[in-house]
Amino acid sequence: MAAHQARFKIGVCQLAVGQEKKENLRKAREMIFRAAAAGAKVAVLPEMFNCPYQASLFPVFAEEFPGGPSLEMLSETARCLRIYVVGGSIPERAGERVYNTSFIFGPDGKLLGRHRKVHLFDVDLPGGVRVRESSTLSPGDEVTVLNTELGPVGVAVCYDIRFPELFRLMALQGARVIFVPAAFNLTTGPAHWEITFRVRAVDNQVYVVGASPARDAGAAYVAYGHSLVVDPWGEVLAAAGEGEEIIYAEIDPERTGEVRGRLPLLKHRRTDLYQLKSREPFIGDQG
């Protein structure tokens, strides 16, 4: 386990996403290169980084694994730079279905795993924001925790963060950092963005990383921006503004153990009164 305790730097790429996939990929690649040049061992992209966030466009921009241009770019860039790349999310086509999927690549360029968004965003919000992801997307059905040389990490996508059970399951399965590509809007963002990320971090005593697209006031769906990194105590370590930028933070795996040692929430759960069920096994002592 000692090899997993080294601190490492992450770069969260708040990308401005436009109508042209090739341009989105070019900018994403350039930002990943900038993050790596600044010392990041992990680069994180936003939700739907290769296409506008519009349900009707998801099937148009969808790619299959392996072979899609977005996925080839992520793999090649991770291999070239010898870093981990959390590939935000893209529309993934699998047979007749399309998913909102985050692909994660290791420093060798190989796919470590993927997370298909479990909870679809079907809402009618104040201000006229109406979204029906289920009109073109299918939900995933897996809790995603990946073992890496930096330690175990969890991955979720946007609306997933509003479901605390999912994050508790990731923590119980060993995740000490959870990456969340997400595109909150101008209604949900000011109200819930920071507080939700901080609460998920505090509840589970893990690092939680939110990667948003940059804000485009002229888009059909306007993302909130304000990408952030929260530590296991709920402190915001880094936060972006509205525009295109990269934020950086240091992840200290020892910090999770320190917080859990002083405030042992997971040990104090009353599993004689309540339990979570999962198809995946929990991992021993979570203190």
pLDDT at 126 (0 to 100)? 76
Confidence band of 282 (pLDDT split at 50, 70, 90): low
SS3 80: helix
pLDDT at 4 (0 to 100)? 47
| Each residue's pLDDT tens digit, 1-56 | 334 468 999 999 999 999 999 999 999 999 999 999 999 999 999 999 999 999 99
Backbone angles phi, psi at 87, to 5 degrees: -80, 45
Query: If you average pLDDT over every residue of the chain, what do you get?
Result: 94
Active-site residue (options: 51, 158, 194, 244): 158
| Each residue's pLDDT tens digit, 131-140 | 899 999 999 9
Which tokens go with 117? Answer: 């968004």
The residue ranges of every structural domain in the chain are 2-262
Q: How far apart are CA 13 and CA 186, in angstroms?
A: 20
9 is catalytic: no
Model confidence at 180: pLDDT above 70: yes
Confidence band of 283 (pLDDT split at 50, 70, 90): low
| Each residue's pLDDT tens digit, 94-118 | 999 999 999 999 999 999 999 999 9
What is the pTM for the complete model shown? 0.95
Active-site residue (options: 92, 117, 133, 244): 117
Burial class (CB in 10 A: 0-12, 13-18, 19+), 66: exposed
110 is catalytic: no
96 is catalytic: no
What class has domain 2-262?
alpha beta
Confidence band of 130 (pLDDT split at 50, 70, 90): confident
Asked if 202 and 234 count as a contact pair (C-beta separation under 8 A), the reply is: yes
Q: How many helices (H) and strands (E) does the chain have?
A: 6, 15
Mean of the pLDDT values across residues 216-238?
96
Active-site residue (options: 47, 63, 194, 244): 47
pLDDT at 285 (0 to 100)? 47
Q: What is the 3-state secondary structure (H, E, C) of 151-213?
A: EEEEECCHHHHHCHHHHHHHHHCCCCEEEEECCCECCHHHHHHHHHHHHHHHHHCCEEEEECC
Asked if 58 and 97 count as a contact pair (C-beta separation under 8 A), the reply is: no
Scanning the structure block, which residue is given the tokens 């399965």? 173
pLDDT at 187 (0 to 100)? 93
User: Any idea what DSSP says for residue 248?
Assistant: E
Angle between helices 188-204 and 164-172 (to 10 degrees): 30
